[in-house]
Amino acid sequence: MTREASEREVAALRRDEIKARLARGAAAILPIGAGAKQHGLHMPMSTDQVFAAYFSKALAKRIDALIWPTLTYGFYPAFVAYAGSVSLSGATFQAAVTEIAPVEAAIIAAREPSRIRHLKIFAGPRFEATVRALQGQPCGSHADEMETSLMLTIAPELVDMTRAKLMPSSPNGPSPGALSPDNHSAPNYAPSGSFGDPTLASAAKGSRVLAAIMEDMIEAAGEPTRSEETRS
């Protein structure tokens, strides 16, 4: 771990250093990303964890923030039919987030509720616009063209594109609900575990998606985006 990184991650700091940073107004980041959730045959179970760690560190470079250890278990019932995938109940996950959230940081934030943010990686307006402009797959949202492209940019050594496979199309198309690795009649039959077409992924697409996500996150965190900085 570099000195720069150790100054942001609470796991490497001492309690008095953390207390002083919070008192001076440092934000508290709790990354959430599954470490045991299937991501097709071509990406590791820790894909969400990789994303959470990457984006929390990238954001902490732009704002004064401390990063808590990533919460690697959550509520992911759509994937439990796949070997190795783990999901907490919704109530347990909510309780875990509530109890893990740094107490002192929460007290400080409670004085100013506007400082509390829930930053979603795949939900910002720039991300959605970039996906619409780039994607070739008719549908997708998991271990698909866009998620795989992002992983090819952030951690290409963890992706095996020779194992990427298109999700079979059911007669009525996909529907909300769990994916199935072995039920051929299921609307979301996905033997590979991909929901979409990861074979269309590329690092070039991933770079554009990454830039869009960062702009969305910086804006959501209350910091000026690149375009705003240019105008100022």
Question: What CATH number does the domain containing 25 carry?
Answer: 3.40.50.10310
As beta bridge partners, residue 27 has: 65
Concatenate the DSSP letters of all residues of 114-154 into one string: GG-----TT-SHHHHHHHHHH--SSS--BSSHHHHHHHHHH
What mean pLDDT do residues 40-62 have? Answer: 96
Q: Can you give the residue range of the structural domain that contains 203?
A: 3-231
Lowest mean pLDDT among 38-47, 67-76, 175-184: 175-184
Identify the band that residue 186 occupies on the pLDDT scale cut at 50, 70 and 90: confident
Alpha carbon distance 129, 212 (integer Å): 9
Per-residue burial over 157-196, b if 16 or more Cβ lie within 10 Å, else e, is: eebeeeebbbbeeeeeebeeebbbeeeeebbbbbbbbbbb
Rounded Cα gap, residues 93 and 78, in angstroms? 15
Distance of alpha carbon 141 from alpha carbon 145, whole angstroms: 8
Q: Is the pLDDT of residue 184 over 80?
A: yes
pLDDT of residue 32: 95
State the pLDDT confidence band at 106, using cuts at 50, 70 and 90.
Answer: low
Give the model's confidence band at 228: pLDDT under 50 very low, under 70 low, under 90 confident, else very high: very low
SS3 call for 66? strand
Q: What is the total count of domains within the chain? A: 1
Percentage of the chain beyond pLDDT 70 is 84
| Per-residue pLDDT band at 110 (split at 50, 70, 90) | low
**Rounded Cα distance, 185 and 218, in Å:** 43
Report the range of poorest mean pLDDT among 53-62, 94-103, 174-183, 217-226.
Answer: 217-226
Query: How does the average pLDDT of the chain come out, rounded?
Result: 87
The Cα 8–Cα 171 span in angstroms is: 50
